[in-house]
């Protein structure tokens, strides 16, 4: 009993620190990557003991700055409601990660530890349901601060997140039909093998490219970042967190990055084989190369490789999301809503029917 509890706490700590750590690193990556993309150098002035460490200390200086800033609450606003909004946003942003498998099993003292926080049959539905709740914090933030611009930001967020939330769910029905399960761990197991005589990993992206594209687009919209940053729109309405300063603003800011990581995790799990390492098979006890060779890896090594592969893939998708964020201009609100309802929704419905038809024909 105690042992189970300890293992669960350990897993939660591992996942949470991974999520938070990656989100914090993303704040650094956002600056450095955009700098390199634009032929700049990026933030590099903060130092620890005279060491600049490629600008990494800026993560700490940001936190110090946000923590020591004045915490402004507009007059006539209930303080507890004002404080509630950022924490709702932050909590809801973190929760979907609980359903994500970050490895298969870790052999530990003669026992196998399942590397997933909550092994649910409806893991995907859980993740999407929680992700769609992110709107509550955003609406609360805009509504409670009694500021026109903030309310405008909330309304835009509502229009955008509801529209794209529908597509988010439907775009994943194709992969769900293909894998025949809503369990995220089983989805990864389905992808943890190869096709084409062992050459191609059986990843979802190769079977559902359209769903991948739609899901990635909608995922970016859910993170409320450029090109879908209408709720924020720094240059025009500042957005729903207009009346927030200090670490409360920091919470909204961090929530965006956490959502980015969570979207990357979902993308990796559903489309990019999750924790599976190409050609590495736990049953065969090592790598089975397409040309027939075999490299033995001990079970613990397999587990560690898979856990590392998960983070590497998540990191790569985060890089892609940042690349998109720093390349594309912003949509107008009507363009974004039209894109969601008139193009992405029909496309994802089409993909669902196409997948169903193909599965029906192949199945017979």
Task: Please report how close the Cβ of residue 312 comes to other proteins at its closest, in angstroms.
Answer: 17
Q: How many positions of this chain bind other proteins (CB under 8 A)?
A: 13
Task: Please report how close the Cβ of residue 335 comes to other proteins at its closest, in angstroms.
Answer: 10
Task: Please report how close the Cβ of residue 38 comes to other proteins at its closest, in angstroms.
Answer: 7
Residues 322 and 291: their CA atoms lie apart, in Å, by 36
**Residue 6, Ramachandran bin (φ over 0: left; ψ between -120 and 50: alpha; else beta):** alpha
User: Among candidates 121, 124, 103, which has minimal Cα distance to 276?
Assistant: 103
What is the SS3 assignment for 183?
coil
User: Among candidates 204, 216, 227, which has minimal Cα distance to 344?
Assistant: 216
Of 92 and 339, nearer to other proteins (C-beta) is 339
Residue the block writes with tokens 């750590």: 21
Cα radius of gyration (the chain): 22
Task: Please report how close the Cβ of residue 358 comes to other proteins at its closest, in angstroms.
Answer: 23
Residue the block writes with tokens 């439907």: 170
Residue 173 belongs to what H/E stretch? helix 173-179
Give the contact letters, 316-355, x = binds to other proteins (CB under 8 A), - = no: -------xx-xxx---------------------------
Of 128 and 344, nearer to other proteins (C-beta) is 344
Of 41 and 64, nearer to other proteins (C-beta) is 41
Asked whether 252 and 178 are in contact (CB, 8 A), the reply is no
User: Among candidates 308, 314, 264, which has minimal Cα distance to 103?
Assistant: 308
Give the contact letters, 40-69, x = binds to other proteins (CB under 8 A), - = no: xx----------------------------
Residues 6+ apart with CB under 8 A from 76: 146
User: Among candidates 135, 124, 128, which has minimal Cα distance to 162?
Assistant: 135
Of 155 and 349, nearer to other proteins (C-beta) is 349
Cα→Cα distances 16→13, 104, 122, Å: 5, 18, 21
Any contact of residue 38 with other proteins (CB under 8 A)? yes
Of 13 and 37, nearer to other proteins (C-beta) is 37
Task: Please report how close the Cβ of residue 200 comes to other proteins at its closest, in angstroms.
Answer: 22
Task: Please report how close the Cβ of residue 75 comes to other proteins at its closest, in angstroms.
Answer: 34
Task: Please report how close the Cβ of residue 53 comes to other proteins at its closest, in angstroms.
Answer: 12
Site for other proteins, residues 8 to 37, rule: CB under 8 A:
33, 35-37
Of 38 and 79, nearer to other proteins (C-beta) is 38
Q: Which residues contact other proteins (rule: CB under 8 A)?
A: 33, 35-41, 323-324, 326-328
């Amino acid at each position: 009993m105690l042992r189970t509890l300890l293992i669960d706490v350990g897993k939660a700590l591992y996942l949470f620190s991974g999520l938070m750590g990656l989100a914090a690193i993303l704040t650094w990556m956002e600056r450095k990557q955009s700098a390199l993309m634009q032929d700049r150098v990026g933030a590099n002035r903060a130092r620890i003991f005279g060491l600049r460490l490629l600008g990494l200390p800026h993560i700490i200086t940001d936190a110090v700055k946000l923590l020591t800033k004045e915490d402004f609450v507009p007059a006539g606003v209930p303080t507890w409601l004002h404080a509630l909004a950022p924490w709702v946003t932050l909590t809801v942003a973190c929760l979907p990660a609980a359903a994500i498998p970050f490895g298969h099993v870790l052999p530990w003292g003669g026992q196998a530890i399942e590397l997933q926080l909550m092994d649910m049959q409806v893991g995907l539905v859980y993740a999407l349901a929680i992700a769609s709740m992110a709107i509550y914090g955003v609406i609360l933030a805009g509504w409670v601060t009694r500021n026109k611009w903030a309310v405008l930001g909330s309304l835009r967020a509502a229009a955008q997140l509801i529209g794209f939330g529908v597509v988010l769910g439907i775009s994943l029905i194709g992969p769900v039909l293909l894998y025949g399960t809503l369990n995220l761990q089983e989805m990864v197991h389905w992808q943890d093998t190869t096709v084409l005589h062992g050459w191609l990993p059986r990843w979802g992206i190769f079977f559902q490219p359209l769903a991948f594209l739609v899901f990635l687009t909608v995922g970016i919209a859910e993170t409320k970042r450029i090109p879908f940053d209408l709720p924020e729109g720094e240059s025009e309405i500042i957005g729903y967190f207009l009346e927030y300063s200090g670490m409360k603003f920091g919470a909204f800011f961090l929530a965006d990055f956490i959502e980015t990581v969570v979207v990357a995790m979902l993308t990796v799990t559903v489309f990019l084989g999750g924790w599976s390492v190409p050609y590495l098979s736990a049953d065969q006890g090592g790598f089975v190369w397409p040309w027939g060779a075999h490299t033995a890896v001990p079970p613990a090594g397999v587990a560690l490789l898979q856990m590392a592969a998960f983070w590497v893939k998540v990191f790569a998708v985060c890089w892609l999301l940042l690349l998109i964020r720093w390349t594309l201009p912003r949509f107008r609100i009507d363009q974004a809503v039209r894109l969601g309802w008139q193009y992405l929704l029909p496309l994802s419905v089409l993909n669902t029917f196409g997948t169903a038809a193909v599965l029906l024909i192949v199945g017979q």
